[in-house]
Structures are given as structure tokens and as C-alpha cells.
């Protein structure tokens, strides 16, 4: 099976088209939101929130409602809980994150196990992009439009409050609300990503493409476009490998994005380790002459 077979299959099977559309959308929004997550030093928080939606998803399943609502509620509650614990005790922020998200995740696993559907658990945790339904696709599209719209509308505010929160606050921007809004967006992105990469690996899609872009540019706006692009590339090729070799889509997508990161890490024109090493060596050689 090669790329041509993949394209043939793509034209032939609707499930594959849905899978592709959804993963491209997820690649875009994870890339965009990921930029703000890493620049705000919230990589760990992103990991926490994405895991913490599990009980919400499980309960929604049980009640037969869209897991969108359950996920957003548990995600936001966790964000508030983390803030509350770290601000009202000597427990540090990262400790609070570690405690809260693992607890939530454990609750989720217990609920799903009691429901006796381990197949679902596997798909929620690791994604099953080839089973994307029409309704999932529309939800992902809706979340995507909302996220992109918010970032376009509030780009200015996001930039200041991320780069210099003190200045933002001094002229009246509500940093706290921006933080919680971002947490809500984060849970929505997680929900959108459930089927493509699964809960466990969402954080990779948030951080890796954004981090790759971070190595390549000095402008936030460019970084956002690049991160979205890397997210898309990872999604498309990841899906290809998943379909072709019958592997979990979450894993293949994340591996492609890791490959992109590795390439940037060693070969980025300004930050690349290889160029840096070559330059240092050249300087040394010149000095020895």
C-alpha cells in the first residue's frame, strides 16, 4: 500500500474523508491554541486539563448526552481546583496540577470500567479516527471556527497578556478571565481531538507543533501559522500511516509531529543545534590559524 492507494481509498471511502477532515481541523486548532499554551508556560496545565476531561466524557456517555458538556465542565472545574489549591496553601502550582489531574483521570477510569466498556475506554484514550461520525465532524468544525474566531478577535489582548501580563493588567485587561477562557478553549480542543489522537496524546499535538514553530520564527503571528501548518502535516501523514499500517492514529500523528520537531531542533536556521555546532567549530578553527 502506498500514497496512491491511500488517495484512491480517500476518494472511495467516506469514513476516510471524515477522518481526514477532522484530523486536519484538529491539527489546525491544536497548533494555534498550543502556541499560547507554551508561551504562557502552561504545557503541564495543558496535559492536566486534557486528562481531566475523562470523567466528564465518561459521565456524558453514561447519560447519553454529547460529551462536549461533560468534558468542558470537568475541565474547567479542574482548572479552578488547581488554582484554588496552589493559591491557598504552600502547595506549588505543579504539585497541584499533578494531584488534581491524576485524581480526575483515575475517577474517569473507574467510571468507564464500571460501565464495562473497555473498548470505548481504549478509543477515548488513544483515539479512533476511522470511526468519526458525521456529528463528531460537525462538532470539531464548530469548535474550530469558534477557536479561530476568538484568536482573530482577541489577538491583541492575547499577545499582551501572554508577553507582559503585568502591562495587560495595568491597563485593565482581565488576565484571570483570559486565563479561564483559555482553559475552556483547552477543554474544547481536547474534546475535538478525542477521536483523532485521544486524551492521552492531545498534549503532544498542543505542544510539539507549537514548539517546532517556536524554533523557527521571532514573531507570534508567524508562529501561529507555522504551528497550524505543522499540525496539519502531522495529521495528514499520521492518518496515512495509521490507515496504511493499521496503527493507532493518535500514535502515528504524534510521531510525525515529533519527527518535524526533531528536524527543526537540529536544522532550524537560527536555533538549530547542527548549525550552531558547525559555526562554533568554524570559529574555533579560525582562531587556531
Partner 1 sequence: MEHALKIERLFVSYLGNQVVKDITFSVKKGSLVGIIGPNGAGKSTLMKAALNLISKDKGDVRIFGEPLKKWKKNIAYVPQRSDIDWDFPITVIDVVLLGTYPKLGLFKRPSKNDKEWARECLKTVGMELFGNRQIGELSGGQQQRVFLARALAQKAELFFLDEPFVGIDVASEETIINILRNLKKEGKTILVVHHDLSKAESYFDHLLLLNQHMIQYGASEEVLQPEVITKAYANQFSFLQPKGVNVTS
The answer to whether 273 contacts partner 1 (rule: CB under 8 A) is no
The answer to whether 182 contacts partner 1 (rule: CB under 8 A) is no
> Minimum distance between the CB of residue 213 and partner 1, rounded to whole angstroms?
9
List the one residue from 29, 200, 223, 239 that touches partner 1 (CB under 8 A). 223
Closer residue to partner 1 (CB): 2 or 218: 218
The answer to whether 269 contacts partner 1 (rule: CB under 8 A) is no
Query: Residue for cell digits 481536547?
Result: 190
User: How many of the other CB atoms lie within 10 Å of CB of 230?
Assistant: 27
The answer to whether 148 contacts partner 1 (rule: CB under 8 A) is no
The answer to whether 164 contacts partner 1 (rule: CB under 8 A) is yes
The answer to whether 219 contacts partner 1 (rule: CB under 8 A) is yes
Kindly tell me the number of DSSP H helices and DSSP E strands found in the chain.
15, 0
Per-position DSSP letters for 76-134, written without gaps between them: HHHHHHHHHHHHSSS--HHHHHHHHHHHHHHHHHHHHHHTT-HHHHHHHHH--GGG--H
List the one residue from 64, 171, 285, 287 that touches partner 1 (CB under 8 A). 171
The answer to whether 169 contacts partner 1 (rule: CB under 8 A) is yes
Q: How many residues bind partner 1 (CB under 8 A)?
A: 23
Rounded distance between C-alpha atoms, residue 158 and residue 177, angstroms: 11
Roughly how many angstroms between the first and final C-alpha of the chain, as a whole number?
55
List the one residue from 2, 4, 156, 245 that touches partner 1 (CB under 8 A). 156
Rounded distance between C-alpha atoms, residue 63 and residue 82, angstroms: 27
Q: Which of residues 13-52 bind partner 1 (CB under 8 A)?
A: 39
Amino acid at each position: 500500500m502506498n500514497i496512491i492507494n491511500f488517495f484512491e481509498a480517500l476518494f472511495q471511502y467516506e469514513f476516510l474523508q471524515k477522518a481526514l477532515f477532522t484530523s486536519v481541523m484538529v491539527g489546525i486548532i491544536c497548533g494555534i491554541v498550543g502556541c499560547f499554551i507554551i508561551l504562557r508556560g502552561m504545557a503541564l496545565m495543558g496535559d492536566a486539563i486534557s486528562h481531566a476531561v475523562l470523567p466528564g466524557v465518561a459521565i456524558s456517555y453514561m447519560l447519553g448526552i454529547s460529551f462536549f458538556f461533560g468534558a468542558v465542565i470537568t475541565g474547567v472545574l479542574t482548572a479552578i481546583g488547581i488554582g484554588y489549591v496552589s493559591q491557598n496553601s504552600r502547595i506549588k502550582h505543579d504539585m497541584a496540577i499533578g494531584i488534581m489531574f491524576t485524581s480526575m483521570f483515575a475517577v474517569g477510569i473507574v467510571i468507564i470500567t464500571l460501565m464495562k466498556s473497555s473498548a470505548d475506554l481504549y478509543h477515548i484514550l488513544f483515539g479512533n479516527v476511522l470511526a468519526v461520525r458525521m456529528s463528531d465532524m460537525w462538532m470539531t468544525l464548530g469548535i474550530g471556527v469558534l477557536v479561530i474566531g476568538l484568536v482573530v478577535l482577541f489577538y491583541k489582548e492575547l499577545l499582551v497578556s501572554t508577553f507582559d501580563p503585568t502591562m495587560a493588567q495595568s491597563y485593565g485587561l482581565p488576565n484571570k478571565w483570559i486565563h479561564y477562557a483559555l482553559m475552556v478553549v483547552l477543554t474544547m480542543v481536547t474534546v475535538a481531538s478525542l477521536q483523532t489522537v485521544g486524551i492521552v496524546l492531545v498534549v503532544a499535538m498542543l505542544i510539539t507543533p507549537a514548539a517546532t514553530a517556536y524554533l523557527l520564527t521571532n514573531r507570534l503571528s508567524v508562529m501561529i501559522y507555522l504551528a497550524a501548518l505543522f499540525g496539519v502535516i502531522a495529521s495528514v501523514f499520521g492518518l496515512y500511516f495509521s490507515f496504511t499500517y493499521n496503527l493507532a492514529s493518535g500514535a502515528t500523528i504524534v510521531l510525525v509531529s515529533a519527527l518535524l520537531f526533531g528536524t527543526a531542533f537540529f536544522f532550524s536556521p537560527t536555533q538549530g543545534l547542527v548549525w550552531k555546532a558547525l559555526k562554533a567549530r568554524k570559529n574555533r578553527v579560525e582562531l587556531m590559524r
